[in-house]
Amino acid sequence: MDRIPLSNSAFEGDNNAYLFADGEETVLIDTGDWMAATRDQLEAAFAERGLEFADVDRIFLTHWHHDHVGLAGEIQAESGADVYVHENDAALVEGDEDAWDVMFERQERYFEQWGMPEAGREVLRNLMVSADVSAENPTVTPIESGDAFSFDGRELRVVHTSGHAAGLCVFETELDGRREAFTGDALLPVYTPNVGGADVRVDNPLAKYLRALQGIVDADYDRAWPGHRDPIDEPADRAAYIIDHHEERSYRVLDALDRLGPCDTWTVSADLFGDLEDIHILHGPGESYAHLEHLERAGTVVREGDEYRFAEGVAEELSAIDDERWELTY
């Protein structure tokens, strides 16, 4: 298996595509974005191995985000490869107009609820439209958790890890006798994957993501191959760290409400992240909302209109905390 780093024009850190070409089948996990530079890099990596896009037999996509699926349609057009993605993301990857309309409509409702300024909304609209029209859409085969695929004596098992995206999947396998996993954006080595903004279709996104992380802890893989940057040698430790990170973030959300009084999601986001640009205009309030919504479900905060305030007794609980972590249940 070869990890192929690919440039990324929109998000932090190079994307990864993973190529299996040591047997009768040529298999790719994720493709990078649709940009010309990415295409050139992937083609060059193939050529170094005596391959071209036409040789690809199967493509497995971790989730629908454009920086992971951008070249899938083009490669399929040249090769006739089967393209697999979780059933929750299939319509978006295929470019179904109704599915995209639902996505955009839901985003607009959240932008209003979060209190996002119109200037920020316009930036995001332009970003989304640009990304949607720039990629050639593949025809996909939907998959679900528990599915398993065999090629060249190897098995690839699907584990659904919703949170960052509705259809995000981890692909488990064995490499050189070790239990390893291709984690897409479920587990990253540097950044903590966004929840809430990255896919507004996900209900209760923080709880779902925390359960996905706990699943990675329990699986105790020997190594993880993430969607961005370098391999992760201690995946369980990294997943546990991100769980702790979210408990620290929930404390910061509550601290913002304590200092600012009742306020909307955009105000909490500004307190946590400051001024935001480009896709972070979506990710900042999305993450803040994911935490506020989770805390509301737990009865920690109360939503009145578009503003959140403490439930009774929470201010006293918060003031008694000395490690700046709010324990989350999921």
Residue 71 gets which letter from DSSP? T
Residue 9 gets which letter from DSSP? S
Reported as a pLDDT band with limits 50, 70 and 90, residue 127 is confident
223: region left, alpha or beta (phi > 0 left; psi from -120 to 50 alpha): beta
Nearest to 253 by CA among 274, 271, 266, 276: 271
Nearest to 11 by CA among 32, 37, 29, 42: 32
Kindly state the tokens that stand for 264: 């909307």
Q: What is the pLDDT of residue 134?
A: 58
Number of residues that make up the chain? 330
Q: Compute the distance between CA of residue 302 and CA of residue 178 in angstroms, rounded to an integer.
A: 47
Kindly state the tokens that stand for 124: 């995001």
Reported as a pLDDT band with limits 50, 70 and 90, residue 175 is confident
Q: Compute the distance between CA of residue 83 and CA of residue 30 in angstroms, rounded to an integer.
A: 10
Query: Within a domain: residue 168?
Result: yes
Query: Within a domain: residue 201?
Result: no
Tell me the average pLDDT across 131-137.
70
Q: How many domains does the chain have?
A: 1
Q: Compute the distance between CA of residue 58 and CA of residue 6 in angstroms, rounded to an integer.
A: 19
Kindly state the tokens that stand for 49: 């191995």
Tell me the average pLDDT across 120-147.
87
Maximum Cα–Cα distance across the chain: 66
Nearest to 181 by CA among 239, 142, 246: 239
- Give the phi and the psi of residue 101 in degrees, each rounded to 5: -60, -40
Query: Within a domain: residue 21?
Result: yes
Kindly state the tokens that stand for 47: 């050529």
pLDDT digits (tens, 9 = 90+) for 229-288: 999 999 999 999 999 999 999 999 999 999 999 999 999 999 999 999 999 999 999 999
The DSSP bridge partners found for residue 27 are: 20, 58
Strands across the sheet containing 2-6 = 2-6, 15-20, 27-29, 58-60, 82-86, 141-143
Nearest to 309 by CA among 261, 267, 241: 261
Query: Within a domain: residue 284?
Result: no
Q: What is the pLDDT of residue 128?
A: 78
Q: How many of the other CB atoms lie within 10 Å of CB of 242?
A: 19
Determine contact, residues 34/75, Cβ cutoff 8 Å.
Answer: no
pLDDT digits (tens, 9 = 90+) for 152-171: 999 999 999 999 999 999 99
pLDDT digits (tens, 9 = 90+) for 24-37: 999 999 999 999 99
Query: Within a domain: residue 313?
Result: no
The DSSP bridge partners found for residue 155 are: 150
Q: Compute the distance between CA of residue 64 and CA of residue 86 in angstroms, rounded to an integer.
A: 9
Q: Domain range for residue 159?
A: 2-94+135-186+223-228
Kindly state the tokens that stand for 18: 């993973």
Which residue has 């990253």 as its token pair? 188
Query: Within a domain: residue 314?
Result: no
Query: Within a domain: residue 83?
Result: yes
Q: What is the pLDDT of residue 176?
A: 83
Distance set, CA 237 to CA 67, 178, 190, 220, 287 (Å)? 26, 17, 13, 9, 22
Reported as a pLDDT band with limits 50, 70 and 90, residue 55 is very high
Q: Compute the distance between CA of residue 223 and CA of residue 183 in angstroms, rounded to an integer.
A: 10
CATH number of the domain residue 68 falls in:
3.60.15.10
Query: Within a domain: residue 42?
Result: yes
Q: Give the torsion sign (CA, 134, 194, 312, 260).
A: negative
Pairing between β-strand 27-29 and β-strand 301-304 as defined by DSSP bridges:
unpaired
Number of H helices, E strands in the chain: 11, 14
